[in-house]
Structure formats: structure tokens, C-alpha cells
Amino acid sequence: MIAREDQLKAMWKSYETVAKVSDAVILEGTGHTGVGSVVDLNNAQVAKRLNADMILVANGGLGSAYDDLALNYLMCQRWGVKVIGIILNKVNDASSSSIIFLWQGLDC
């Protein structure tokens, strides 16, 4: 089993290696922000440790997209991670008018 601190050191080392030779670094989490909570190292905690802002991603639609985004946004707030945007995948014409509502509803 890999210790939590060893995982954090490995992530930080990898991040620094890429950041030294890059103008920007995009970090992709695995699933929602709570993934990894079982080992006390979720995606929001990793973002916080790497001083990374977050863009939340959800599938289009109003109800489920808002629910997913709200839960993920709360996890970011809990760990002090700044949410700088949202991306909605698979948005159809009928739900495109709800995009502004989603952003305003999250109070970003």
C-alpha cells in the first residue's frame, strides 16, 4: 500500500516536472471531486495541494447537471479550491438556455 504522503510527493514531483517546461498545466481528475475520499485524498484535496483552480465538468441537461455541479462545487468549497468555470458536455438546443442559470445558481 502506498502511503498518502508518498502519493502527494509523487504528484507534486510530477506536477513540478511538467510546470518547469510549460506555460500552463492542465490537471485532469478522475471522476467527481470526491473520488479518493476513501483514502483521504480526493480530487479536491489534490487540487488544493497543487494550488490548482478547478473547472467543473458535467453532462448537459438541467436537473442532473445542476445536482452534479452543486455537489462538486461544495466539495471544492470545503477544501478551499477556487472554481473558475464549468463545462457542460452534450448540451442540446432545448437545454442551452439553462446554462446561465447553472452558473448563477452555483454562485461562482
- Please check the confidence at residue 68 and state whether its pLDDT lies above 90: no
Sketch the domain layout of the chain as residue ranges.
Answer: 4-105
pTM: 0.76
- The pLDDT score that the predictor gives to residue 59 is 77
- The pLDDT score that the predictor gives to residue 80 is 95
Give the residue ranges of DSSP H helices in the chain: 4-19, 43-49, 63-79, 99-105
- Please check the confidence at residue 57 and state whether its pLDDT lies above 90: no
- The confidence band for 64, taking pLDDT boundaries of 50, 70 and 90, is confident
Average pLDDT in the 18-35 region? 87
C-alpha dist (Å) from residue 56 to 2, 7, 14, 47: 28, 23, 22, 12
Instruction: Please list, in sequence order, all residues whose beta carbon lies within 8 angstroms of the beta carbon of residue 32, skipping any fewer than 6 positions away.
Output: 43, 68, 71, 72, 75
- What proportion of the chain, given as a percentage, has pLDDT over 70? 81
